[in-house]
């Protein structure tokens, strides 16, 4: 009898939490809604499965247009082919909720570069929801007069540490012409006229991290300088790589720099110059936009909103 009462109480608490979350989730919805995940590929371990479940439940309430995957869908050594079983254990069987059967817009992470990067792109021919036309590309959404442009870039080849690596893992990096990519980025941003412009890459431009400072210096000198030219247009730069949440707004730049946490396993973090918010917990983010405002909500593994960044016109 006691076990039955305990189970009933737990069930009541669970339904209460779901109901409470549902109300909050509905309040996040705008005309254009997008999920953002990164550093997720842990074969379902750590918090990957719970976060995937929350994503599915939330998608029922806000109907995201797509899922942006900001790199490292496949830890640790990428994938070898479009038939690699890691596609099932890292992706297909984890994000299986019907409401997540929507376009996924990925970029390469450094772990993808440890494997067959061509196969990452070619998986678009296998999966209807994996939509990766090239290593870098752009996508525009227009709903009820609101327009939003996603600019998806390939950051690993931009960083000299990877280009000069003698590790066979990164043999494909030096084959990529990062200068050509930066020219493309300049062209896309110069002609962008959308209400909201969001650039997505795997590596941070500004962030607290124990990783080499040379990574961020290359990103600042190459990608960062390009973005600053168009700071009147670019609203957010979103990345992963660091496995925690960070929001950085520097006094000398109008762009909000976002680190999206790992959708599986978080890491410690501390505030640095310009930090507005940081958290070590794993999770994902929700982008919500209409004609007048753009919000990015940082979500933990329980579906709770940790922090919201809002930009208005």
Give pLDDT tens digits for 42-100.
Answer: 999 999 999 999 999 999 999 999 999 999 999 989 999 999 999 999 999 999 999 99
Report the pLDDT value the prediction gives residue 171, as an integer from 0 to 100: 86
Please give the order of strands across the beta sheet that includes 275-279: 137-143, 146-152, 196-200, 234-239, 256-259, 245-248, 275-279
How far is CA 20 from each of CA 52, 70, 301, 304, 305, rounded to the nearest angstrom? Answer: 19, 29, 15, 10, 12
Distance CA(283)–CA(304), nearest Å, equals 10
Among candidates 264, 189, 269, which has minimal Cα distance to 232? 189
**Does the pTM of the predicted model rise above 0.85?**
yes
> DSSP secondary-structure letter at 130?
B
**Cβ(261)–Cβ(298) below 8 Å:** yes
Q: Does the pLDDT of residue 112 top 70, yes or no?
A: yes
Question: What is the rounded distance in angstroms from the CA atom of residue 135 to the CA atom of residue 117?
Answer: 9
Given a cut of 90, whether residue 233 has pLDDT beyond it is: yes
Does residue 38 carry a pLDDT above 90? yes
Give the phi and the psi of residue 73 in degrees, each rounded to 5.
-70, -25
The band of 1, judged by pLDDT with boundaries at 50, 70 and 90, is very low
249 CB contacts (<8 Å, ≥6 apart)? 256, 257, 274, 276
Number of neighbouring beta carbons within 10 Å of residue 194? 17
In this structure, what DSSP letter does residue 227 have? H
Per-residue pLDDT for 11 more than 50? Answer: no
In DSSP terms, 295 is beta-bridged to 288, 310
Residue owning tokens 């669970």: 14
Distances (CA, A) of 221 to 103, 158, 214, 215, 297: 32, 10, 10, 10, 28
Residues 115-138: tens digit of each pLDDT: 999 999 999 999 999 999 999 999
Cα–Cα distance for residue pair 302/47, rounded to 1 Å:
10
Measured CA to CA, the distance from residue 159 to residue 211 in angstroms comes to 13
pLDDT on residue 18: 53
Regarding beta strands 196-200 and 137-143, do their DSSP bridges make them parallel or antiparallel, or are they unpaired? unpaired
């Amino acid at each position: 009898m006691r076990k039955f009462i305990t189970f009933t109480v737990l069930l009541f608490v669970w339904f209460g939490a779901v109901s409470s979350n549902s109300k909050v989730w509905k309040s996040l919805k705008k005309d254009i809604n997008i999920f953002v995940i990164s550093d997720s590929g842990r074969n379902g371990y750590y918090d990957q499965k719970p976060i995937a479940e929350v994503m599915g439940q939330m998608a029922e309430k806000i109907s995201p247009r797509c899922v942006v995957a900001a790199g490292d869908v496949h830890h640790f050594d990428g994938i070898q082919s479009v038939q690699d079983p890691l596609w099932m254990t890292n992706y297909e069987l984890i994000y299986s909720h019907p409401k997540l059967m929507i376009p996924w817009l990925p970029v390469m992470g450094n772990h993808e570069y440890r494997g067959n990067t061509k196969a990452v792109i070619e998986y678009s021919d296998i999966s209807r929801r994996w939509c990766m036309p090239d290593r870098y590309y752009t996508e525009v959404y227009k709903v009820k007069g609101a327009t939003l442009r996603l600019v998806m870039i390939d950051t690993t080849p931009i960083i000299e540490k990877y280009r000069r690596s003698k590790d066979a893992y990164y043999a494909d990096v030096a084959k990529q012409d990062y200068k050509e990519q930066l020219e493309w980025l300049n062209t896309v941003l110069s002609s962008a006229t959308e209400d909201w412009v969001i650039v997505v890459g795997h590596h941070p431009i500004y962030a607290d991290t124990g990783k080499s400072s040379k990574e961020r210096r290359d990103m600042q000198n190459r990608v960062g300088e390009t973005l600053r030219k168009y700071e009147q247009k670019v609203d957010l730069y979103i990345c992963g790589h660091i496995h925690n949440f960070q929001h950085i707004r520097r006094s000398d730049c109008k762009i909000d720099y976002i680190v999206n946490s790992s959708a599986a396993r978080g890491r410690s973090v501390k505030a640095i110059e310009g930090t507005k918010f940081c958290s070590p917990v794993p999770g994902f983010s929700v982008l919500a936009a209409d004609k007048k405002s753009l919000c990015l909500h940082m979500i933990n593994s329980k579906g709770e909103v940790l922090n919201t960044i809002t930009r208005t016109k």
